[in-house]
Amino acid sequence: MSMKLLLDARAARQTADGITRFSLNATRALERLRGQWKLSVLVHPSGCRHFEPLNVELVPCSVPRFVPGENRRLIPLFRKLSPDVYLNYSMAGPTPENVPTLVTVHDLMVLSVPCYFGNGMIRNAISRKVFHNAILRSVQHASAIAVPSAVTAREVRRRFPGAADKAFVTGEGQSLFAPGEGVVTGREAGPLLYVGNARAYKNLPRLLTAYGRVWAMNRGIPQMIMVVRRDRAFRGFKTHLDSNPARKNISVVSDAGDQQLRHLYLSCRGLVMPSVCEGFGLPALEAMAAGAPVMASRATALEELVGDAGLLVNPHSVIDIARGVALLARADAGEIGRMGLAGMTRAAAFTWEKAANAFVSVIEGIA
């Protein structure tokens, strides 16, 4: 069947962060799966370059997300494009009349993580209220709600019980490594690796403290390389980093491109990712696809993703995170290889094609 699908990727920006990569790869997979559909993509001008290689209609749009008047400003565009279905890659946004709508709730950290919006209590309280109302309007209006993990689905159902029957799990994929391209040997001389931002949910103060304690007991532990995006939380992260006793053993990289990330994943001893919460955990999937062992958090979407293929720790315990760091640091070549192979096998089950199939099934059902 032919279909006019409008994809809202205004969150995509020049820097290929998590939501940019999600939007791009989901769109690419939809294009492959349903080449007969007409795909129009709303995208901020700074993010257009990511989508230019695709066979889609690019609609540059500078209307910001999550602001008053967003819906009103986009109504003329919806009328002009006249889509059969509107898929928003964000969790809140326009509520077009007479157009079946899907929203994508990657996580609900804006509502659940203390100090998500900084250290100010009043600012956090106001911001949480604003986002709660915006998400509530979106999920009430939506015909379906896409989520990347069962953990996020449960959180959506808990916070918005009226929308409980709308949520469906898509999963995610990774695009850095082809199946079987990962390497599981020769990693024992490599560094520990962290990839992500420095916001509160990433739990970097506990990770740094844990690493510093392990280093204090064993000065010969592997170096740690931290790929940390320079965003609003970077200054606070730098303060914690510079006061760490193992500071000279920790390197920081910002704005790493795909080729540099590939090299780091393929050569590291293991990835450390003790987040207190995650909607999915793309760096963990990329590391597993590369054949790298992964240390991740229990009771989060990371446990759902990593399963028994990695080391699971309590993200609220510095002692338990230090235990995981120490296990990775002293693992021999055989242990590293076994964990890496288990991760590669598990990573193969998560693909963008599977995610696109989940989207397509729901889109065709509501169109």
Do residues 280 and 201 touch, judged by C-beta distance below 8 A?
no
**Residue 254: CB partners within 8 Å, gap ≥ 6?**
227, 228, 229, 230, 234
Distance CA 210, CA 256 (A): 25
pLDDT, residue 88, reads 98
Helix axes 318-330, 204-217, angle to 10 degrees: 50
State the greatest distance between any 2 C-alpha atoms of the chain, in Å, as a whole number: 65
Q: Kindly list the strands in the beta sheet with 167-169, ordered across the sheet, starting from the edge strand earlier in the chain.
A: 57-60, 38-43, 4-8, 85-88, 101-104, 144-147, 167-169
Distance CA 62, CA 324 (A): 44
Place of tokens 């956090």: 124
Structure tokens at 242: 């510079």
Per-residue confidence of the chain (367 residues) as pLDDT tens digits? 689 999 999 999 887 778 999 999 999 999 999 999 999 999 999 999 999 999 999 999 999 999 999 999 999 999 999 999 999 999 999 999 999 999 999 999 999 998 888 778 999 999 999 999 999 999 999 999 999 999 999 999 999 999 989 999 999 999 999 999 999 999 999 999 999 999 999 999 999 999 999 999 999 999 999 999 888 889 999 999 999 999 999 999 988 889 999 999 999 999 999 999 999 999 999 999 999 999 999 999 999 999 999 999 999 999 999 999 999 999 999 999 999 999 999 999 999 999 999 999 999 999 8
pTM for the complete prediction? 0.94
Assigned superfamily of 192-347: Glycogen Phosphorylase B; (3.40.50.2000)
- Domain locations along the chain: 4-173+351-366, 192-347
Do residues 331 and 339 touch, judged by C-beta distance below 8 A?
yes
What CATH number has the domain spanning 4-173+351-366? 3.40.50.2000
Q: Which amino acid, one-letter code, is at 12?
A: A
Do residues 275 and 281 touch, judged by C-beta distance below 8 A?
yes
Report CA dihedral (60, 66, 68, 72) to the nearest 10 degrees: 40
pLDDT, residue 314, reads 98
